[in-house]
Amino acid sequence: MNQSGVPQEKILEELSEKLNKDLTYESGKILGSMCTIPHDLARKLMTIYLEKNLGDPGLFKGTQEIEIETIKMLGSLLNNPKSWGYIVSGGTEGNIVAMRIARNIGRTKIRGGTPEIIIPTSAHISFDKAADLLGIRLVRVNLDREYRVKPSEVKKAITDKTIAIVGIAGTTSLGTIDPIEELSEIALEKNLYLHIDAAFGGMVIPFLERLGYKLPKFDFRNQGVCSITIDPHKMGLAPIPAGGILFKDRTYILENCFEIPYLAGGTYAHPIILGTRSGAAVIATWATLKHLGIEGYTRIVKNCMEVTHQLEKGIQQIKNVELATKPVMNIVGITSKKLDICQIDQELRKLRWALGKFENLLRIVVMPHVKPQHIQQFLADLEQITKKSK
């Protein structure tokens, strides 16, 4: 820090220079992100209510009620009005919190040894973090040709140390949806905890269903599903930080809360990781969900799918690159049998296109900031690059 402080105008000048290096969503160049420009209403509310702290909800009872209402809205979207949960810092925290609850419930059943959870090989890195933090062993199960976990392999992977199964509704790399109905059957039969990571898909699939897409039931309609991660700060147009973790009902958390007795607002017991946390993000999420409603989100998802189909068709017309799989939501994987995908990515980056890069594919997430003209330009650049590559 400097001794005498710097005038505000100078700070703003310096900032604008520094932040010039950032890519912007408006430029259309950000094709590999699951985040986007938050809704205007959310932006406004974030600044107005910046000081609200849900780490001490007794001081902010109104904000706490708003969190409960937000969870109710997400719960009804996931077909369970009895859901109980929290707006958390993101999908990572949601998954870690769910794995902790699963471990605490499961470890009484396995009588010693390292608890195991079965995850698809497509699972997000947050499960590695959870396993490391919680002393859990991950058992990874392979995918079928459409990049969905194989229920028969899940069944085979179950041991007397298994405490939970994870299914994904909207995988990080390709947006595919695991056969959750079958996973639910297995979980019920074997009396195992089933967590669904719908961090991305949770704010997409319900609207695709309304648009007539035939997709597997991924939510609490399956009796075996115990918890779901669903992030408003991805396709929900909420500001960061706004993840969501929902449990089937309150009983899952009752025995698994940390109690903080000394708070100014009174005792608070909760099972999440953060202490001080943003009330403004919760208020902004509540407002965005309420304002857009089912119809608003359905429209947004419909637009994203139209752009997704434009991209899908465009890729099919470019020689030497292929779709990794037919997109099930607004995530598209590009692979190549002939060309080096890393090299293509490097060339795209020179033109400032920012895609996600996985082992053997490039990922595009067609978020609301990605418009038809951006895709048109991207496809033209990709075609040029593939012509030059060997």
Site string for ligand 0PR, 81-120 (x = CB under 6 A): ---------xxx--x-------------------------
How far apart (Å, rounded) are the C-alpha atoms in residues 143 and 121?
7
**Distance in Å, CB of 140 to ligand 0PR, minimum:** 15
Q: Which segments of the chain are extended strands (E)?
A: 84-88, 116-120, 137-141, 162-168, 193-197, 225-229, 243-247, 258-260, 268-270, 322-323, 331-335, 356-358, 361-365
Q: Which is nearer to ligand 0PR, 124 or 374 (CB)?
A: 124
Q: Which is nearer to ligand 0PR, 39 or 107 (CB)?
A: 39
For residue 172, state whether it binds ligand 0PR (rule: CB under 6 A): yes
Stretch that binds ligand 0PR, among 42-50, 142-150, 165-173, 289-297 (CB under 6 A): 165-173
How deeply is 383 buried, as exposed, middle or buried, from its count of CB atoms within 10 A (0-12, 13-18, 19+)?
A: middle
Distance from chain centroid for Cα 32: 13
What is the H or E stretch that residue 365 is in? strand 361-365
For residue 178, state whether it binds ligand 0PR (rule: CB under 6 A): no
For residue 199, state whether it binds ligand 0PR (rule: CB under 6 A): yes
For residue 197, state whether it binds ligand 0PR (rule: CB under 6 A): yes
How far apart (Å, rounded) are the C-alpha atoms in residues 98 and 90?
12
**Distance in Å, CB of 207 to ligand 0PR, minimum:** 17
Q: Which is nearer to ligand 0PR, 238 or 318 (CB)?
A: 238
CA distance readout (Å), 215 to 26, 118, 166, 241, 324: 31, 23, 18, 29, 19
Q: Which is nearer to ligand 0PR, 123 or 280 (CB)?
A: 123
Q: Is the dihedral of CA 375, 378, 384, 387 positive or negative?
A: negative
Alpha-helix residue ranges (DSSP H) falling in 113-271: 126-134, 151-157, 180-190, 205-210, 251-254
Q: How many residues bind ligand 0PR (CB under 6 A)?
A: 18
For residue 231, state whether it binds ligand 0PR (rule: CB under 6 A): yes
How far apart (Å, rounded) are the C-alpha atoms in residues 85 and 71?
6
Residues 31, 35, 196, 237: which binds ligand 0PR (CB under 6 A)? 35
**Distance in Å, CB of 30 to ligand 0PR, minimum:** 7
How far apart (Å, rounded) are the C-alpha atoms in residues 52 and 75?
24
Strand pairing of 225-229 and 137-141? unpaired
Q: Which is nearer to ligand 0PR, 33 or 288 (CB)?
A: 33
For residue 124, state whether it binds ligand 0PR (rule: CB under 6 A): yes
For residue 34, state whether it binds ligand 0PR (rule: CB under 6 A): yes
**Distance in Å, CB of 243 to ligand 0PR, minimum:** 5
How far apart (Å, rounded) are the C-alpha atoms in residues 227 and 198?
10
Give which of 38, 5, 27 is closest to 287, Cα–Cα: 38
Q: Which is nearer to ligand 0PR, 198 or 280 (CB)?
A: 198
What is the H or E stretch that residue 96 is in? helix 91-110
Stretch that binds ligand 0PR, among 31-39, 77-85, 150-158, 322-330 (CB under 6 A): 31-39
Three-state DSSP state, 121: coil
Residue type, 271: P
Q: Which is nearer to ligand 0PR, 35 or 205 (CB)?
A: 35
**Distance in Å, CB of 91 to ligand 0PR, minimum:** 3
Stretch that binds ligand 0PR, among 33-41, 47-55, 135-143, 271-279 (CB under 6 A): 33-41
For residue 243, state whether it binds ligand 0PR (rule: CB under 6 A): yes
With a CB cutoff of 8 Å and minimum separation 6, the contacts of 267 are 58, 259, 260, 261
For residue 176, state whether it binds ligand 0PR (rule: CB under 6 A): no
CA distance readout (Å), 122 to 27, 32, 126, 312: 30, 17, 12, 22
Q: Which is nearer to ligand 0PR, 45 or 230 (CB)?
A: 230
Q: What are the φ/ψ torsions at residue 208 (nearest 5 degrees)? A: -65, -40
**Distance in Å, CB of 365 to ligand 0PR, minimum:** 8
Contact residues for ligand 0PR (CB under 6 A)? 33-35, 90-92, 95, 124, 126, 168, 170, 172, 197, 199-200, 231, 243, 356
